[in-house]
Structure 1
Amino acid sequence: MPPGGWSELGNHSEGTEFILLGITDLRHLQLLLFTVLLPTYLLTLLGNLFIVILSLVDCRLQTPMYYFLRNFSLLEMAFTSVITPQVLSHLLTGHKTISPPRCFSQMVLYLTLGTVEFFLLAVMSVDRYLAICYPLRYPTLMTSQACLRLVLGCWAGGFLFLSGPCIWLLLLPLCGPKVLNHFFCDSIPLLALVCTDTSRLQLLAFLVAVCTLAGALTVTVASYVCVIWTLLQLPSAQGRRKAFSTCSSHILVVSITYGSCIIMYLHPTQTGQLDLNKGVAFFNTTVAPLLNPFIYCLRNKLVQQVSRDMLVKGMGPSRHLRVCLGGPGSF
């Protein structure tokens, strides 16, 4: 590929497309992964969509906690849909090329949605902190308008922090082999195709990661330190268990999300680590979004009760399912 920016690759042909090495070159393993990944992706969409519908139709779930959970489920559906359909197509057809515009768009959406996810997890932690540490002031602090502003702030922050590094990468000249050692367009293999020195861009990306991921993690950890300290002061063991049950699912999701991210970006320049990164990225983009609805449903008694009312008794005859028609102050 001759040196040139992304704009020069806009009118692409077969010779200017990027080649993704994918997960495996063995055809029978590709078909096996396809048969496993397709139902996984469909279950991910159905599971997260179920949470969205559940939180919309029942008044018992019309609270800030489930408002954020609904937005998190929508975010997970978008996050996995950026990567998984393309992976399914490549596994089924064996055709592993992707055009530069699609590659860049995929990278931007993947990084942006991932950053928004970290911000939203931090907001959900703050919500639990306010609910447990300041229960009397919680209704006046977490109004529907405040929740909306927090969600919009997560999205604005994701695009704001990622716009600089992504635009910079878009303007850099590309050369060398057009092969990406990944199953989707991630920033690390794309940087390997840049002709010029990328040390400044990598430094900027590192600073952005510190400000976003480390900042969100700090807020999350600080919130739950305060939550645990408050719970330890409660005189009733039953009260402690009940309060902690509202946080346990979120703590588990946070642990999975941050754990996979830390492993993925630990020593990313090593060849062996790149292979490990592909495995962790596969888990992070396909399996983790599937686990989240099950985690929240299996560990939350209220969600279980509403689910039983909705699935067993149905929308019509159920006297327990409280359908909300919405309103100015509803979530």
Structure 2
Amino acid sequence: MDGTNESTQGHFILLGFSDRPQLERILFVVILVAYLLTLVGNTTIILVSRLDSHLHTPMYFFLTHLSFLDLCFTTTSIPQLLYNLHGPDKTISYTGCAIQLCMFLGLGTVECVLLAVMAYDRFVAVCKPLHYMVIMNPRICMGLLLLTWVVGVANSLIMPIVSMHLPRCGHNRVNHFLCEVPALIRIACINTAAVEGFVLVLAVIIVLIPLTFILISYICIVRAVLQVRSGSGLQKVFNTCGSHLTVVSLFYGNIIYMYMQPGNSSSQDQGKFLTLFYSIVTPLLNPLIYTLRNKEVKGALRRLLFRNREGGKE
């Protein structure tokens, strides 16, 4: 199949929430506020982790990159969504759609793998505390981070090639607010059973392998926790693992629920809101979870604020 359909039309129409004009106006305000708070929250986590020497540890090295990922991930879709919600123009260029699809898939995959890497970091911290800094040395941390990006880039190249080059016979109306693989496959004018099967298998591998690794890590952590008799030791374990486990539950719970839905029209509408949830709500909540549940981050924020006050008085 060549790209004549796309090259002649040159754009897609993202239907999004256009069938509910009143909802569009409400969503524009809510999403704009949430997006700005997401930018502020994740930027704060990055700055605090970099500026406070107490947070120069492997855990916060990965947390900084998680916040960076959330900033990039939400920016791949939300500005375009805000533009479409604000006015009658719902179009996105073919090139813009391809770039958005690559970025959305790639960054989402990186986050899946990064959460598994962070689970391994917590496993080492709890189960092998005396060897933590030896095992999680800077070289290993950079290698694990590089692995997440290699997997993400690979997926961002495979999925778009499969979905963007399907024949569409002039159809360019996408029933979604962003260029997403299932929505693009639905407007193809050929039997897509084989393509859907390939995408499903690839998605299951990308989601289930990191999730299985996370579950194994936390099973080992729970076993280690049960052997700890000290109340302060238990509290420390819950403080270090609670935030990460909450983020994992939000991220994977939403993705698994969404991709297990059947492909009927009602689930398509439901899929839009679920995609919206992990595009804006999850990146918004992550900084709050790590700030409110983590004493080290709260302490770093207090130290930075106190230092700024001292500098202002001078």
* TM-score under structure 2 length normalisation: 0.94
Match of 1:149 in 2: 143
- Quick one: distance in 2 between partners of 1:48 and 1:198? 39
Q: Supply the distance in 2 between the matched residues of 1:212 and 1:40 (Cα, whole angstroms).
A: 28
The answer to whether the 8 Å contact 1:176/1:195 transfers is no
User: Matches of 1:6 and 1:74 in 2, distance apart?
Assistant: 34
Partner residue, 2:102: 108
Aligned residues: 312
Which whole-Å CA distance do the structure 1 matches of 2:228 and 2:167 have between them? Answer: 60
- Residue 6 of structure 1 deviates from its aligned partner by 3.6
For 2:6, give the aligned amino acid.
L
User: Is 1:171 aligned to 2:165, yes or no?
Assistant: yes
- SS of corresponding position for 1:122: helix
Q: 1:271 to 1:26 in 2, by over 3 A?
A: closer
1:57 aligns with 2:45: no
Are 1:9 and 2:3 matched, yes or no? no
In angstroms, what is the RMSD of aligned CA positions?
1.8
Q: Output the CA distance in 1 between the equivalents of 2:19 and 2:166.
A: 30
1:199 to 187, 193, 204: 193
User: What is residue 96 of structure 1 aligned with on the other side?
Assistant: 90
The SS at the match of 1:206 is helix
Whether 2:154 is the aligned partner of 1:160: answer: yes
Q: Distance in 1 between matches of 2:52 and 2:262?
A: 45
Task: Determine which structure has the larger helix proportion and give its number.
Answer: 2
Give yes or no for contact 1:6–1:174 (8 Å, CA) kept in 2: no
Deviation at 1:312, TM superposition (A): 3.8
Q: Distance in 2 between matches of 1:32 and 1:161?
A: 34
Aligned CA distance change for structure 1 residues 97 and 225 (closer, same or farther; 3 Å): same
- 8 Å CA contact 1:122–1:220 kept in 2: the answer is yes
Structure 2, unmatched stretches of 5+, are none
Distance of 2:4 and 2:228 partners within structure 1: 61
Take 2:253 and 2:237, find their aligned partners in 1: how far apart are those partners? 25
Tell me if 1:284 matches 2:284: no
Choose the corresponding residue for 2:70, options 67, 76, 84: 76
State the secondary structure of the residue aligned to 2:13.
strand
Q: Does 1:270 align with 2:267?
A: no
Aligned residues of 2:12 and 2:91 also touching (Cα < 8 A): yes
- Alignment partner of 1:195: what SS? coil
Q: CA deviation at 1:46?
A: 0.9
Contact 1:87–1:184 under 8 Å retained in 2: yes
Q: Is the 8 A contact 1:176 1:193 kept in 2?
A: no
Q: Report if aligned partners of 2:119, 2:218 keep a CA contact under 8 Å in 1.
A: yes
* 1:140 aligns with one of 115, 134, 154: 134
Q: Are 1:64 and 1:127, in contact at CA under 8 Å, matched by a contact in 2? A: yes
- AA aligned to 1:261 is I
Give the Å deviation of 1:11.
Answer: 6.1
Point out where structure 1 has 5 or more consecutive residues left out of the alignment. Answer: 319-331
Q: What SS does the corresponding residue of 2:263 show, helix, strand or coil?
A: coil
Is 1:306 the counterpart of 2:300? The answer is yes
TM-score, structure 1 normalization: 0.89
Q: Which residue in 2 is equivalent to 1:257?
A: 251
Is 1:188–2:182 an aligned residue pair?
Answer: yes
Whether the 8 Å contact between 1:6 and 1:100 is mirrored in structure 2 is no
Q: Which moved more, 1:92-101 or 1:116-125?
A: 92-101
Percent identical among aligned pairs is 39
**Distance 1:41-1:173 versus aligned 2 partners, 3 A rule:** same
Letter in 2 for 1:207: V
User: Aligned partners of 2:195, 2:23: CA distance in 1, in Å?
Assistant: 37
